[in-house]
A and B are shown apart, each in its own frame.
Chain A
Amino acid sequence: MDMLFFVVLMAIFAAVFIFLGYLGYKRTKTAEDYFVAGRTMGSLIIAFSYGATFISAVALIGFSGIASIYGHSILWLAFLNIFVGIFIAFLFYGLRTRKMGLSLKAMTLPELLGNRFKSVKLQQISGLIIGVFMVAYTSAVFLAIASLFQVTFGIPYWVCVVIFTVIVGIYLIVGGLYAVMWTHAIQAIVMLIGMIILTIGIYAMLGGIGPAHEAAAALTPANLTSIGSPAASQAPNGLTSMPPLLSQPFMMLLTLIFGVGIGVLAQPQLIIRYLTAKNEKALRLAVPYGAIFILLMTFFAFSIGPLCNVLMYQNNIMYPVKDVAGVMTANPDAVIPTIINEFFPAWFILIFLFAILAAAMSTAAALFHTAGAAIGRDVYEKSIKNRSSPQKSILITRIATFIIVIATLIISLNPLDVVAFMTAFFFGLMACTFLAPYTLMLYWRRTNRIGVWIGMLGGFLFTMAWYILIYFKTAPKIIGTPLIGNYMINMLDPIFIGLPLSFLLTILFSSITKQDKEEEAIMKKSFENI
Chain B
Amino acid sequence: MILILGMDLGVFIAWIGTLLAAALCVVYGLYYSLIKKTEEQPVLPKKQEKKQEEER
Contact = CB atoms under 8 A, between A and B. Distances in A.
A83 B21 CA distance: 6
Contacts of A73: 10-11, 14
Nearest to B25: A291
Contacts of B43: 99, 102-103, 529
Given A216-B6, A240-B8, A242-B8, A82 B18 contact: yes
A167 interface: no
Contact of B28 (A216, A281, A288): A288
Given A72-B7, A240-B6, A288-B29, A529 B41 contact: yes
Q: How large is the interface on B (under 10, 10 to 19, 20 to 34, 35 or more residues)?
A: 20 to 34
Contact of A87 (B10, B21, B39, B46): B21
Nearest to B3: A217
A281 B33 CA distance: 8
A279 to B, nearest CB: 6
Interface stretch (A144-152, A207-215, A422-430, A504-512): A207-215
Contacts of A240: 3, 6-8, 11
A364 interface: no
A299 B39 CA distance: 33
Q: Is the interface of A mostly helix, strand, loop or mixed?
A: helix
Contact of A75 (B14, B30, B39, B46): B14
Contacts of B24: 83, 87, 291
Interface in A423-452: none
A237 interface: yes
A519 interface: no
A189 interface: no
Contact of A279 (B5, B21, B39): B39
A217 B4 CA distance: 11
A273 to B, nearest CB: 16
A76 B33 contact: no
Contacts of B35: none
Given A87-B25, A87-B28, A280-B40, A210 B14 contact: no
B46 to A, nearest CB: 8
Interface in A65-79: 71-73, 75-76, 78-79
Nearest to A81: B18
Q: Which of B3, B10, B18, B30 has the most chain A CB atoms closer than 10 A to its own CB?
A: B18
Given A79-B14, A280-B40, A237 B32 contact: no
Contacts of B26: 288, 291-292
A60 B46 CA distance: 47
Nearest to A281: B39
A285 B29 CA distance: 5
A71 B12 CA distance: 12
A389 to B, nearest CB: 22
A27 interface: no
Contacts of A215: 6
A265 B1 CA distance: 37
Given A279-B39, A281-B32, A295 B22 contact: yes
Interface in A257-303: 279-281, 284-285, 287-292, 294-295, 299, 303
Contacts of A87: 21, 24-25, 28
A285 B37 CA distance: 12
Contacts of A216: 6
Given A79-B17, A87-B24, A279-B39, 6 more contacts: A75-B18, A78-B18, A79-B14, A87-B25, A213-B6, A292-B22
8 contacts: A73-B11, A79-B21, A99-B43, A213-B5, A217-B7, A241-B1, A284-B28, A291-B21
